[in-house]
Amino acid sequence: MLKIDKLTSIHARGKFARICVEIDLEKKLIPQVSVNALGLVLNLEYEGLHAVCFNCGKYGHKKDVCPELKSVNPQVANKDGEAKV
């Protein structure tokens, strides 16, 4: 953690916390974090990162246009061995 919001540090945000962290955009971003000691699962929001994909976890596009979700049309060979799309 690099820094913490003043209202978060004095517990004035209620159910929300705002912290500044450094992240490696080469690694998969996660949508949630589990706090096992409390049995909680906390949802994360990445402020300032407007194109985060929670399918592949990469920065630069949203889940609805994730290249990993694009379906590949299966090719079926006809009787002459030619691919048919």
pLDDT at 40: 86
- Give 47-76 pLDDT, tens digit per residue: 877 788 888 888 888 889 999 887 655 555
The pTM (predicted TM-score) of the whole model is 0.49
Please indicate, yes or no, if residue 31 is contained in any of the structural domains: yes
Residue 77, pLDDT > 80, answer no
> What is the spatial distance between Cα 11 and Cα 8, in angstroms, rounded to a whole number?
5
Residue range of the domain that includes 59:
27-68
Which among 32, 36, 34, 58 has a CA at the least distance from the CA of 45? 32
Please indicate, yes or no, if residue 45 is contained in any of the structural domains: yes
Number of folded domains that form the chain:
1
pLDDT at 13: 65
Question: Residue 70: how many CA atoms within 13 Å on its side-chain side?
Answer: 5
Q: What percent of the chain has pLDDT over 90?
A: 4
Please indicate, yes or no, if residue 82 is contained in any of the structural domains: no
Please indicate, yes or no, if residue 35 is contained in any of the structural domains: yes
